[in-house]
Amino acid sequence: TRVLLTGGSGFIAAHTLDFLLKHGYSVVTTVRNQEKVDNIRKVYPNVGKDKLDFVIVPDISDPSAFDKAVISDPPFEGVLHTASPFHFNVTDTKKDLIDPAVIGTTGILKAIKKSAPTVKRVVITSSFAAIINLTKGTWPEHTYSEADWNPITLEEAIVNPINGYRASKTFAEKAAWEFVEKEKPKFSIATINPPMVFGPVVHTIKSLDELNTSNERIRDALLGKMKDQIPDTGVCIWVDVRDVAAAHVAAMEVPDAANKRFFVTEGHFSNREICQIIRKNFPDYKNLPSDSTPGGDLPEGGVFKVNNTRSKDILGLKYKPLEACIVDTVKSLKPFGL
Ligand code: NDP
């Protein structure tokens, strides 16, 4: 099966690419420049062009960015759209976050409808950011599921970059569902909605400064930044990146996944728990917080619950536990001098 994977240089995409290649798929992935092509090629020196090929797509905010990328010989049967900005270095929320997320999503859907009639399923990486309702706070009496939608508005989006990111994911996912409703394409879609994604770094980054956003807290703990005060956990639910990769591929393959959202999460975590896991498994790190260091707990009055049943029943996910994930992540950071 030939698959198009967007944003192949990213953290989640690198694991998805690996999963696809290990399971015999033929993959074309989009990256922003030739250097990223070369870096990924180096990871797979023995994989031929028939199994792994590239298209350079410099900026997904361009509405025609994917017009050529969706055309392939042999033709694509599935598309996994992961590319979207996930960082908070923003000067213009609309230009830097919302446009690439929304135009990237509608652009690829339009291009597939127009030029890739063999595509049966398009899986879009959405987020818990498109599910969470921030106006409800910790909401201990609520159980989040695929039924929930973030009610964020454009006005609220521009208040700060975190809101901007959450809005970008919400608006992009909404635009995808609207496209399906209005355009009635021949393909079906599915969205994967993960919360904080942790896991080993297998994508090619040159330094720790380029580390993907969701693994930053693990890096910061190792660097000693939590020694005196553990920061607030924030969104206190998580999932292993390898489970997210498996979810994308299952959502492309399983007939029953058509036109469904999938909330993929193992469950709760706290920054304190992450620090404890690192301390227990890597006694050599001397700059970690101790049991008496303040901060990093789950909210005292309790916090929302989660329902991940659909992801287990339909996608067959079996979630990796937090300890194994954090241990593998820390090991993967050692080559960067940590
Ligand atoms: P990364 O930053 O590692 O990956 C993002 C990818 O998108 C990169 O390949 C990046 O390319 C590409 N990209 C961003 N902006 C553009 C643009 N304007 N034009 C072309 N390509 C662009 O982050 P993740 O792997 O974590 O994120 C992947 C997806 O998962 C995103 O859709 C994100 O919203 C979603 N997600 C992530 C979560 C997490 O905790 N990690 C949680 C929930 C959802 P480059 O690096 O070359 O700029």
pLDDT tens sequence across 267-291: 999 999 999 999 999 999 999 999 9
**pLDDT at residue 313 tops 90:** yes
Tell me whether residue 271 is in a domain.
no
**pLDDT at residue 241 tops 90:** yes
**pLDDT at residue 216 tops 90:** yes
Distance between CA atoms of 103 and 171, rounded to whole angstroms? 10
**pLDDT at residue 243 tops 90:** yes
Distance 235 CA to ligand 1 centre (A): 18
Ligand 1 nearest-atom number relative to CA 9: 9
Mean pLDDT of 38-58: 97
Distance 322 CA to ligand 1 centre (A): 22
Tell me whether residue 59 is in a domain.
yes
Distance 17 CA to ligand 1 centre (A): 14
Tell me whether residue 222 is in a domain.
no
Which residues lie below 8 Å from residue 8, measured CB to CB, with a gap of 6+? 14, 17, 29, 30, 31, 36, 40, 54
Tell me whether residue 253 is in a domain.
yes
Contact 309, 263 (CB under 8 A): no
Mean pLDDT of 173-191: 98
Tell me whether residue 315 is in a domain.
yes
The 3-state DSSP class for residue 311 equals helix
Element holding 38 (H helix, E strand): helix 34-43
Mean pLDDT of 178-205: 96
Average pLDDT, the chain: 97
Mean pLDDT of 177-195: 98
Distance between CA atoms of 162 and 301, rounded to whole angstroms? 24
- Total domains present in the chain: 1
Q: How confident is residue 231, by pLDDT bands cut at 50, 70 and 90?
A: very high
Distance between CA atoms of 69 and 5, rounded to whole angstroms? 10
Above 0.90 for ipTM, yes or no?
A: yes
Task: Supply the pLDDT for residue 338.
Answer: 87
Mutate to test the pocket of ligand 1, among 4, 6, 9, 12 (most ligand atoms within 8 A of CB): 12
Mean pLDDT of 52-61: 98
Tell me whether residue 84 is in a domain.
yes
Mutate to test the pocket of ligand 1, among 84, 170, 248 (most ligand atoms within 8 A of CB): 84
Distance 83 CA to ligand 1 centre (A): 5
Q: How confident is residue 139, by pLDDT bands cut at 50, 70 and 90?
A: very high
Ligand 1 nearest-atom number relative to CA 125: 32
CATH number of the domain enclosing 33: 3.40.50.720
Domain range for 41 is 2-200+238-266+306-319
Please give all residues whose beta carbon lies within 6 A of any atom in ligand 1, as ranges. 7, 9-13, 32, 36, 57, 59-61, 82-86, 100, 125, 127, 169, 194, 196-197, 212, 214
Whole-model pTM: value is 0.98
**pLDDT at residue 203 tops 90:** no
Tell me whether residue 248 is in a domain.
yes
Tell me whether residue 16 is in a domain.
yes
